[in-house]
Amino acid sequence: MTTASRKNPRETRTSSTTRTVDGAKSFKAPLPEKPEPLGEELFRAIDRSAGALSAQMTAGLSPAALWMAWADWALHLAQAPGKRAELAAKGWRKASRLGLHALHCAQEDGTDCCIEPLPGDRRFADEAWRKQPFSLMYQSFLLTQQWWHNATREVPGVSPHHEAVVSFAAKQLLDMLSPSNSPFTNPEVIARAAATNGANFVEGYKQFVDDVSRQLSGEPPKGAENFRPGHEVAVTPGKVVYRNHLIELIQYAPATETVHAEPVLIVPAWIMKYYILDLSPENSLIRHLVGAGHTVFCISWRNVTAADRDLSLDDYRRRGVMAALDAIGRIVPEAKVHAAGYCLGGTLLAIAAAAMAHSGDDRLASMTLLAAQTDFTEPGELGLFIDHSQVDYLEDAMWQHGYLDSHQMAGAFQLLRSQDLIWSRMLRHYLMGEPPSMNDLMAWNADATRMPYRMHSEYLRKLFLDNDLAAGRYMVEGFPIAIQNIRAPIFAVGTERDHVAPWRSVYKIHYLSDTDVTFVLTSGGHNAGIVSEPGRANRHFRIAGKTDAEPCVSDDAWAERTPAREGSWWPAWQEWLAARSSPQRVAPPAIGAPDKGLPPLEDAPGTYVHQR
């Protein structure tokens, strides 16, 4: 044993001695002792507890993230005299336009407006807003809104993310102050109150009390009881043929004498219940596929609890997609599978397909991505709520409960579409006294689920923040996976008004894949664009394919050169699936495989869909 090896380890850890060039001893600062893991956990738990308590008071929004965005904007605006001068000049011009408009209105009726609402802004569409003093009120509001948009945009030096956050926050505050939201400045409300002798306010108050009581008690909104899974919705006949802790696999009964040899597996998002793809019989995508001669399987995800806090994103891959493929392989042996994923389910399917390609697993006949992102560099308006501060804040809230509560997710989505989901609803139901309406899609939207702490944290950090999947850094079973390795043909669908997965972000699958890609851009939003059954009016879509040998074009160039077609994209997808299936149709497979340990367990839609 050497002299060095006989030294006291404690002394070696706490001090260090060296010699200078002339041989003199020189003492370094003591080396820090390795902190005890228990102490680290204790200190981190204190931080988590404080963050969780704060999150309860801020509806899950990080005050630090908002403060940093405001400080970035305010400090850069303070050191930009040119921008301030520009805003002063614009403010003066807008005040002059408003003054001239008021002067003309005083002299004659029917004077043209000095500013028009943005496309899609229907708050001031009623003719009553053209009369004074209401015309002057809403014109002043729109000019103020336009000025603040200019003030929060193009400030030199502000980061794009902070600029978007400040602009979004300013818009939310202004929307609160809109004259359309006050019973004293909204001519439609005033007219309704005069016609009903104020009964509209009584009805509105009743609805407000009912909504608050339902929210506090955890009950669904009024009317949702008319759309129950297994009764009015999710009624396509089928059986649960496989169940584990995370999924139930539903196999749907055939509706034709012969079927395509390759079955279809649908991987829905676990942020909501699966039956958005099996709503009422007339707008069920699953029923449409079954009626076209496909054997359809669909995953129904478990609604997790605090006990599932440690479920990982890879657990969803292994116990979800891969477990479903294994079960299908026992029911329909030696048949390849057309796999389709919606939203988060599509992202998970892309991860699973890339991992399968790496390991030589060729069970996929094709892959369909419905409003699903694989590149998160441009995640859309949802990115307003995703930065390192906000993610850490969400992790604190999830750490306390073990999951992300559905109300927090619903609140974020409502803010993204506050005019439609908050203020217009308040106007119609609480001020105008109109009774609430409900349909199957709205009832499904209220049937929210929870997401486990570990999985959602990994999803936000690895995909949203670090974009590991697109960069080829995402690890599965110890190795990085790449979308470029997928050789199955891809069918991708984006929707024109998607605020969750913008179509230009979905389009990026062209840049990541080395296989044939068929892309569809359809009218509608994230949900209504996918639930687009044949026969619905005012629907259109664009579709174009690209082989792996053809060059990519930009999203704008693609949209410009691809003509729009009237109708639903569903038949086009079904034809695409049929063209990539075996030419000969076969007899429908049996439901389940009792001889292989997969007996039918119960009727669809199963039990997981009913979990609260």
Which residues participate in catalysis according to the annotation?
Answer: 343
Distance CA 177, CA 180 (A): 8
Task: Specify which residues 430 forms β-bridges with.
Answer: none
| Nearest residue to 375 via CA among 287, 262, 472 | 472
Distance CA 58, CA 56 (A): 6
Strand order in the sheet with 264-267: 565-566, 540-546, 517-522, 490-495, 364-370, 337-342, 264-267, 296-301, 247-252, 238-243, 602-603
For 31, what's the count of Cα atoms within 13 Å in the CB-facing half-sphere?
A: 11
How many helices (H) and strands (E) in the chain?
23, 17
Query: What are the backbone dihedrals phi and psi of residue 560, each rounded to the nearest 5 degrees, phi first?
Result: -70, -35
Distance CA 577, CA 520 (A): 14
Query: What are the backbone dihedrals phi and psi of residue 339, each rounded to the nearest 5 degrees, phi first?
Result: -100, 135
Query: What are the backbone dihedrals phi and psi of residue 49, each rounded to the nearest 5 degrees, phi first?
Result: -65, -45
CA angle 580, 338, 545 (to 5 degrees): 50
Q: Is the peptide bond before 179 cis (omega within 30 degrees of 0)?
A: no
CB 598 within 8 A of CB 589: no
Give kind and range of the element (H or E) at residue 231: none
User: Which residue shows structure tokens 């997808």?
Assistant: 573
| DSSP string for residues in 579-604 | HTS-SS-BPPPPSSBGGGTB---EET
Distance CA 412, CA 428 (A): 22
Q: How many CB atoms lie within 10 A of CB 351?
A: 25
Tokens at residue 492, please? Answer: 């991708």
- Amino acid making up residue 571: P
β-strands 475-476, 479-480 pairing: antiparallel
Torsion of CA 571, 236, 581, 350, to 10 degrees: 90
Tokens at residue 175, please? Answer: 């929307």
Q: Is 495 helix (H, G, I), strand (E, B) or coil?
A: strand
- Amino acid making up residue 87: L
| Nearest residue to 541 via CA among 578, 515, 570 | 570
